[in-house]
Amino acid sequence: MPGFTVSFHPEDRFFAFLRTVGEISCREGRLSGIPVAVKDNISTAGIETTCASRILEGYIPPYDATVVERLKNEGAAIAGKTNMDEFGMGTTTENSAFGPTRNPVDPSRVPGGSSGGSAAAIAAGLVPLALGTDTGGSIRCPAAFCGIVGLKPTYGRVSRYGLIAYANSLEQIGPMAANVTDANLLMGVIAGHDPRDSTSLDFPYLHTPDPEIRGMRIGVPEEFFGEGVDPRVASVVWEGISLLERKGAEIVTCRMPSMAYALAAYYVTCTSEASSNLARFDGVRYGPPADTKKTWHESFQERRRDGFGEEVRRRIMLGTFTLSSGYYGKYYAKAQAARNQVRADFERLFREVDVLAGPTMPTVAFKFGEKSDPLSMYLSDILTVPANLAGVPAISVPCGRVEGLPVGLQIMGRWMEDERVVDVGYAFEQGVSR
C-alpha cells in the first residue's frame, strides 16, 4: 500500500485525528500495511506530539516510543495522531486545546476520554486499530461509549517509554479495536520487556483467544451496581453476564468494600503525580518559549497560565496542595493506604473467583456540556479506577445498547492474567455473534 494516506480533515464531524501522517513501513510483519492511529501523548519521531495542549504546540519528539517502534517493526502504517483530553485529564475529550471529538454513534454526545480520538477513529471506520492510554479508565471509557473493544493491560506489561507522563504509577498504554481478535493481535505486538522502562515486566504476550469458559468463576461485586449506575445500563450488563453463565461460567456475587475509597484515592494520587510530572513544562525546555524580558517567576507563571487548560491547571493545583507541608500525611499518605485496601480486596476476591465483571461506565455517553461541574465528571470514573489502583488488567467489550447508545461490559482479571481477561471478552463476543 505505498503512498497510504487517511482522507480526513479537522472540519469533519468527528475530529478524531489531530493530524494525519500516512507513514507506512516497508517491513513485513503481523501488521503489514494495516493503518494504526496513535494517541497524541505517545511520542512519534518527526511528528508533532502535543498531548492536546497548547503548552506543547510545535513539539516534535526526536525518537519513537517503544510501542511505535514495535508497530513499525511489524509493518504497520501510522495513520495519524488522535485527539484526547489535555494530558489525559478527562472523561469526554472536551478538554482538548484543539477542540472536542464527537461520538460517531451520536455526534451530539461525547466519545469518552481521554482516548476519545482513538475510539472515535475506530468507531467511524477510519482505522481498524489504535493505541490509547489508560490512567483511570481512559481506554475503557471511550471503548464503552463508542461501542468498541479497549484493553488496559497489567501495569508493566507494555512499555511506557516514550509516553508523556501524567501519573506514572497508574497509566498504561493499551490496544483499541473493533473486536477482541484485533485487540489481541495489537496487544501481542506492543507487549513485552523494554530495558528503557524500569517498570517494564519480562512477560511477552503470545496468545490466541479461547472462547471456552466452562467452569470459570466470574465474580460480580455488588458495589459495581450501586448508587449512580443507570438501571438501564445495569440491566443490559446483567444480560451480558447471564450470557456468560449460559456458556458454562459460574456467577458469584461478592463484595468489594474498598470501592467506597477508590475514587478519592485515585484523584489524590493522580493529581499529586501530575503536579510533579508537569512541573517540567516551564516555557524553557518544551513548547513555545516564555517571555525572557520578564523575570523568571513572571514568565513561568504566564507561560503555564496560557499554555495549560482549565482542567490541567485545576489538577496541578490540587496535587500541589495534597503534597504540600502539613497536608501530605492528611491526604496523600491516606490515599496510598486506601490504595492498598483496593489491592487487598482484589487479592481476596481473586482467591475465590477467576475474573470480576460489571459495567464499564455507570451511564451511556452523555451530551456535550451535560456534566459541567468537575465532581460529576470525576464520579463517572468510579467503576474503572480500581483496576488502575491495583495494576490489574481490564477489558471493555460492547454488550448491548440503551436507546441506541452503546454499553460496555468490563472484565477485570488477576495481575498478569491479561490472556484470561481477553478470553472472557472473546467468549462473550462469540456468544453475541451467534
Strand runs labelled E in 83-194: 129-134, 149-152, 172-177
Active site residue 138: yes
Considering 39, 72, 152, 371, which one is annotated as catalytic?
A: 39
3-state helix, strand and coil shares in percent for the chain, rounded to the nearest 5: 35, 20, 45
Q: Is 200 part of the annotated catalytic residue set? A: no
* Catalytic pick among 43, 53, 96, 114: 114
Cell of 345: 480486596
Rounded to an integer, what distance in angstroms lies between the CA atom of residue 49 and that of residue 187? 22
Question: The C-alpha cell of 193 is what?
Answer: 520487556
Rg (CA), the chain: 20
Name the amino acid, one letter, at 317: M
Among 120, 114, 222, 116, which Cα is nearest to 170's? 114
| 39 given a catalytic annotation | yes
Beta pairing class for 129-134 and 35-39: parallel
| Residue in 43, 138, 200, 258 annotated catalytic | 138
d(CA 407, CA 405): 7
In Å, how far are 247, 351, 427 from 115, measured between CA atoms?
32, 33, 25
Q: Where are the alpha helices (DSSP H) in 83-230?
A: 116-123, 140-146, 180-190
Nearest to 84 by CA among 36, 147, 137, 17: 17
> In residues, how long is the chain?
434
Distance CA(362)–CA(141), nearest Å, equals 10
User: Which three cell numbers, joined as nine digits, stand for 181?
Assistant: 481478535
Tell me which DSSP letter residue 162 carries: T
Alpha carbons 148 and 248: distance in angstroms, whole number: 25
Catalytic residues: 39, 114, 138
